[in-house]
Protein backbone atom coordinates (compact mmCIF):
# COMPACT_ATOMS: atom_id res chain seq x y z
CA UNK A 1 0.00 0.00 0.00
CA UNK A 2 2.90 2.32 0.76
CA UNK A 3 4.16 1.78 -2.79
CA UNK A 4 0.82 2.94 -4.20
CA UNK A 5 0.96 6.05 -2.02
CA UNK A 6 4.47 6.79 -3.31
CA UNK A 7 3.25 6.49 -6.90
CA UNK A 8 0.35 8.85 -6.23
CA UNK A 9 2.68 11.33 -4.55
CA UNK A 10 5.06 11.16 -7.53
CA UNK A 11 2.15 11.95 -9.86
CA UNK A 12 1.34 15.14 -7.97
CA UNK A 13 1.60 18.17 -10.17
CA UNK A 14 0.67 16.48 -13.43
CA UNK A 15 -1.48 18.37 -15.87
CA UNK A 16 -5.00 17.18 -16.67
CA UNK A 17 -3.77 15.74 -19.97
CA UNK A 18 -0.93 13.91 -18.21
CA UNK A 19 -3.44 12.46 -15.70
CA UNK A 20 -5.59 11.25 -18.62
CA UNK A 21 -2.55 9.67 -20.24
CA UNK A 22 -1.60 8.02 -16.94
CA UNK A 23 -5.16 6.75 -16.46
CA UNK A 24 -5.21 5.36 -20.02
CA UNK A 25 -1.84 3.70 -19.46
CA UNK A 26 -2.96 2.13 -16.18
CA UNK A 27 -6.22 0.96 -17.76
CA UNK A 28 -4.30 -0.76 -20.55
CA UNK A 29 -1.91 -2.36 -18.04
CA UNK A 30 -4.87 -3.61 -16.00
CA UNK A 31 -6.51 -5.11 -19.10
CA UNK A 32 -3.23 -6.80 -20.04
CA UNK A 33 -2.80 -8.21 -16.53
CA UNK A 34 -6.39 -9.51 -16.55
CA UNK A 35 -5.90 -11.09 -19.98
CA UNK A 36 -2.70 -12.79 -18.84
CA UNK A 37 -4.48 -14.09 -15.74
CA UNK A 38 -7.35 -15.40 -17.88
CA UNK A 39 -4.88 -17.19 -20.17
CA UNK A 40 -3.14 -18.70 -17.16
CA UNK A 41 -6.48 -19.92 -15.76
CA UNK A 42 -7.45 -21.44 -19.11
CA UNK A 43 -4.09 -23.18 -19.45
CA UNK A 44 -4.39 -24.53 -15.89
CA UNK A 45 -7.91 -25.83 -16.56
CA UNK A 46 -6.77 -27.47 -19.81
CA UNK A 47 -3.83 -29.10 -18.07
CA UNK A 48 -6.11 -30.44 -15.34
CA UNK A 49 -8.56 -31.77 -17.92
CA UNK A 50 -5.77 -33.42 -19.92
CA UNK A 51 -4.39 -35.00 -16.75
CA UNK A 52 -7.84 -36.40 -15.99
CA UNK A 53 -7.85 -38.40 -19.24
CA UNK A 54 -4.14 -39.24 -19.38
CA UNK A 55 -3.34 -42.93 -19.64
CA UNK A 56 -6.95 -44.03 -20.21
CA UNK A 57 -8.29 -45.85 -23.21
CA UNK A 58 -11.01 -44.30 -25.33
CA UNK A 59 -13.46 -46.89 -23.95
CA UNK A 60 -12.64 -45.95 -20.36
CA UNK A 61 -13.14 -42.27 -21.18
CA UNK A 62 -16.46 -43.01 -22.93
CA UNK A 63 -17.63 -45.07 -19.95
CA UNK A 64 -16.77 -42.23 -17.56
CA UNK A 65 -18.51 -39.64 -19.72
CA UNK A 66 -21.62 -41.81 -20.07
CA UNK A 67 -21.74 -42.77 -16.38
CA UNK A 68 -24.01 -39.85 -15.50
CA UNK A 69 -26.42 -40.29 -18.42
CA UNK A 70 -29.77 -41.75 -17.33
CA UNK A 71 -30.79 -45.09 -18.91
CA UNK A 72 -33.99 -43.46 -20.24
CA UNK A 73 -31.89 -41.00 -22.23
CA UNK A 74 -29.69 -43.74 -23.68
CA UNK A 75 -32.80 -45.75 -24.62
CA UNK A 76 -33.93 -42.85 -26.84
CA UNK A 77 -30.75 -42.96 -28.95
CA UNK A 78 -31.09 -44.60 -32.37
CA UNK A 79 -29.97 -48.22 -32.57
CA UNK A 80 -28.74 -47.79 -36.16
CA UNK A 81 -26.64 -44.68 -35.46
CA UNK A 82 -23.40 -46.11 -36.84
CA UNK A 83 -24.89 -47.56 -40.01
CA UNK A 84 -27.10 -44.52 -40.67
CA UNK A 85 -24.76 -41.75 -39.45
CA UNK A 86 -25.24 -39.72 -42.68
CA UNK A 87 -28.98 -39.70 -42.05
CA UNK A 88 -28.64 -38.50 -38.46
CA UNK A 89 -25.86 -35.97 -39.12
CA UNK A 90 -26.74 -34.61 -42.57
CA UNK A 91 -30.39 -35.58 -43.00
CA UNK A 92 -29.80 -37.80 -46.03
CA UNK A 93 -32.29 -40.61 -46.68
CA UNK A 94 -31.69 -43.80 -44.72
CA UNK A 95 -29.78 -46.51 -46.57
CA UNK A 96 -31.94 -49.35 -45.27
CA UNK A 97 -35.71 -49.65 -45.09
CA UNK A 98 -35.64 -50.85 -41.49
DSSP secondary structure code for residue 46 in this structure:
H
Please tell me which of 5-14, 31-40, 42-51 the model is most confident about, judged by mean pLDDT: 31-40
Q: How many domains does the chain have?
A: 2
The pTM for the full model equals 0.43
Quick one: 29 and 8 in the same domain?
yes
Quick one: 73 and 28 in the same domain?
no
Quick one: 50 and 84 in the same domain?
no
Q: Which of the four pLDDT bands, split at 50, 70 and 90, describes residue 21?
A: very high
Q: Which residues have C-beta within 8 Å of that of residue 6, sequence separation ≥ 6? A: none
Higher pLDDT, 12 or 32: 32
How far does CA 54 lie from the centroid of its chain? 19
Please check whether residue 75 lies inside any domain of the structure: yes
Quick one: 7 and 51 in the same domain?
yes
Q: Which domain holds residue 16?
A: 2-56
Distance CA 96, CA 81 (A): 12
How far does CA 19 lie from the centroid of its chain? 37
Instruction: Give ∠ CA 36-50-46 in degrees, rounded to 5.
Output: 20
Please check whether residue 89 lies inside any domain of the structure: yes
Measured between alpha carbons, how far apart are the two ends of the chain, in Å?
75
Q: Which of the four pLDDT bands, split at 50, 70 and 90, describes residue 48?
A: confident
Amino acid sequence: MQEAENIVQAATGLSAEEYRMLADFLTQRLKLAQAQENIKNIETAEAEENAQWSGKSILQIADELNAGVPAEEIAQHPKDGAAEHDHYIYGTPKRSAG
